[in-house]
Structure 1
Amino acid sequence: MKNVKTEGIITKAVGGNYYVAVADGVLCCNARGVFRKEKISPCAGDNVVVSIEENAVPLIVEIKERKNHIIRPPLANLDCALLVTSAVDPVPNTLVTDKLISIFESKHIEPVIVITKQDLRECEDFAGIYRKCGFKVFYMDNSTGNGIDAIRSYISGKLSALIGNSGVGKSSLMNHLFPGLERSTGDISKKLGRGRHTTRQAELFAIDGGYIADTPGFSTVEVSRYGFIPKNELQYSFREFSEYLGKCRFRDCVHLKESGCAVTEALREGKINSSRYDSYVKMCEEAERLNEWEFKNK
């Protein structure tokens, strides 16, 4: 058998083994050592070229250019991130949601809000904050699966990822998308008020011409693992600020305490949600502290 090359997408990476979906199945592959030298790690979502030879393990020889990439969990080429939040246990956390939205906006990945467990509590106020900003919001009842058809229709043909705190219902959502998958669901730790992690690594599942990645859950303090946005760039990751940027009195305005700020004026007029703006202020404070820490350790 001569050397044959084929293209596919990595659906799972475990250790040094990469599972690549190709036209006629799935190949378990190794990767060329040159990727390590170039400090490139193949990951789920990567579009790759695989070399196949007789009596040899298939080898990933090329990684196509990525349109985006997140490091933890390693995922590439996402079209959208389904930010899963629970109506109760744990209750919705606007700061966590806003941090995730900003990170994915900065990477040109469309954030979508999915509220689970709505059989336990209504969350229209929470949902309304994000609908007003132009984000899609879906509901899903964990026990009945009501609402799953709208989610399935939206992700059709896309590369999506489920993102959220442990215990918010990602595994239940996956079980409704893929009956028979029997994804383990995590109980909520009564002591900590957060779920137990039930997914170990990111893995892509084929669905309606696209893929969806189930990712490991995280605790609230781990949100920053998805990425970091410098303070002076945060304003660009809040889409409701966009029509006011460039209209402030000072060109270097960061929309905190400056006079003549168009963003804070819009806030006072009720055109920008106060909860979202509060998140922006807290994120600026955190970014400033992290910048100082990095500077001191250079």
Structure 2
Amino acid sequence: MELEGLVIKCVGGFYTVNTAQEPVICRARGRFRKEGVSPCAGDRVRVQRETDGSWALSEVLPRKNHLVRPPVANLDRLFVVASLRGPAVNLALVDKTLAVAEINHIEPVVVFTKTDLDDPGPLLEIYRLAGIKCCKVCAQRGEGIEQVRELSAGRVSAFLGNSGVGKSTLLNALFPGLGLETGEISRKLGRGRHTTRHVELYPLPGGGYAADTPGFSTFDLERYRLTDKEQLVRGFREIERFSKDCRFTSCSHTCEKGCAVLKAANEGKIAGSRIENYGAMYQEIKGVKKWEQKSKHV
């Protein structure tokens, strides 16, 4: 007997798969390890019943996108969550995460939490210029919750951000009944404790799924396949837009005289933090050779 379904949780080598008939818990066939395939939450898969009555994950169907960290596939939207205080907004992390979404063809949304502690106005303007949707949320007061709920309805979405920004708190406010564990901020370190330890998709009342993901405090570009400097521009939509007017076909958009992107930045059409973070990422990956890129894209 064979069924198709959606992987909603992966823990300790066991996969929980939602099928049209019933949820099943199974292990993956041994050939996946030999082929270098790791099933993950969000995968559409086929499962087969074994002669002993157990289930085995037999096939991973083609993915439309896939993130390495957190391991999740087939996302429609990526909500990049950043808090205004405790911890303060790290725009470099936000822009790196947005670039991951853009390059993987996932619609990004920036969510600023803890808006009772500070004014998100200047930050909203940065991403308004970029053409990226933004939400401002205070989970305790219920402010902005409905906008995020509408954007996630009927879609497969993940909520991603560094530790302590309030992803689980936000999801609990969005969908009462989930009961996700939340943690306090470490005063000594100024960041959150990791309360989410694996990726799990939660079915939403209005259809679709939302993934809570482990927080992070550092960002390895190689693990996200952001090692091709020529493709990096696709991760910054407003930079890509102005790059089409650039007279230099091989322009890096970081220092060249007469560059259309830098001209737009000087005219205030691209936020300073965005062009700065693009340049920092370009410098970080410019030394990676083509053959190294292929070896890292696993």
TM-score by length of 2: 0.92
> Residues of 1 paired with 2:171 and 2:248: CA distance?
48
Matched, 1:49 2:13: no
Match of 2:127 in 1: 130
Asked if structure 2 preserves the Cα contact closer than 8 Å seen for 1:73 and 1:226, the reply is no
Matched, 1:94 2:91: yes
Matched, 1:103 2:69: no
Match of 1:265 in 2: 263
Match of 1:189 in 2: 186
Of the candidates 160, 167, 171, which is equivalent to residue 168 of structure 2?
A: 171
Aligned runs of 1:145-224 on 2, under 5 Å? 145-207=142-204, 208-219=206-217, 221-222=218-219, 224=221
* Cα distance, 1:226–1:191 mapped onto 2, change above 3 Å: farther
Query: What is the number of residues matched between the two proteins?
Result: 292
Asked if structure 2 preserves the Cα contact closer than 8 Å seen for 1:166 and 1:186, the reply is no
> Residues of 1 paired with 2:26 and 2:163: CA distance?
31
> Residues of 1 paired with 2:22 and 2:216: CA distance?
32
Q: Which runs of 5+ in 1 are unaligned?
A: none
Match of 1:77 in 2: 74
Asked if structure 1 preserves the Cα contact closer than 8 Å seen for 2:226 and 2:232, the reply is no
Asked if structure 1 preserves the Cα contact closer than 8 Å seen for 2:184 and 2:192, the reply is yes
Q: Which runs of 5+ in 2 are unaligned?
A: none
Cα shift at 1:53: 4.3
Asked if structure 2 preserves the Cα contact closer than 8 Å seen for 1:86 and 1:116, the reply is yes
Asked if structure 2 preserves the Cα contact closer than 8 Å seen for 1:167 and 1:186, the reply is yes
Match of 2:253 in 1: 255
Asked if structure 2 preserves the Cα contact closer than 8 Å seen for 1:103 and 1:229, the reply is no
Cα shift at 1:243: 2.8
Secondary structure of the residue aligned to 2:231 is helix
Asked if structure 1 preserves the Cα contact closer than 8 Å seen for 2:41 and 2:72, the reply is yes
Matched, 1:14 2:22: no
Asked if structure 2 preserves the Cα contact closer than 8 Å seen for 1:29 and 1:60, the reply is yes
Cα shift at 1:14: 1.0
RMSD: 2.0
> Residues of 2 paired with 1:185 and 1:226: CA distance?
26
Cα shift at 1:196: 0.8
Match of 1:244 in 2: 242
Which piece of structure 1 moves more, 127-136 or 38-47?
A: 127-136
Asked if structure 2 preserves the Cα contact closer than 8 Å seen for 1:200 and 1:216, the reply is yes
Q: What is the identity, as a one-letter code, of the residue corresponding to 1:231? A: K
Identity %: 47
Match of 1:228 in 2: 226
Q: What is the identity, as a one-letter code, of the residue corresponding to 2:75? A: L
> Residues of 2 paired with 1:112 and 1:223: CA distance?
21
Cα shift at 1:61: 1.4
Which piece of structure 1 moves more, 180-189 or 191-200?
A: 180-189
Secondary structure of the residue aligned to 1:92 is coil
Match of 1:27 in 2: 24
Match of 2:281 in 1: 283
TM-score by length of 1: 0.92
Q: What is the identity, as a one-letter code, of the residue corresponding to 2:2? A: K
Asked if structure 2 preserves the Cα contact closer than 8 Å seen for 1:86 and 1:115, the reply is yes
> Residues of 2 paired with 1:198 and 1:5: CA distance?
36
Which digits, 9 at most, give the CA deviation of each residue in 1:238-280, with x for residues without a partner?
A: 1002332243232111112212211111112221111110111
Which piece of structure 1 moves more, 77-86 or 282-291?
A: 282-291
Which piece of structure 1 moves more, 221-230 or 190-199?
A: 221-230
Cα shift at 1:67: 0.5
> Residues of 1 paired with 2:176 and 2:124: CA distance?
27
Asked if structure 1 preserves the Cα contact closer than 8 Å seen for 2:129 and 2:270, the reply is no
> Residues of 2 paired with 1:73 and 1:248: CA distance?
35
Q: What is the identity, as a one-letter code, of the residue corresponding to 1:153? A: E
Cα shift at 1:131: 1.9
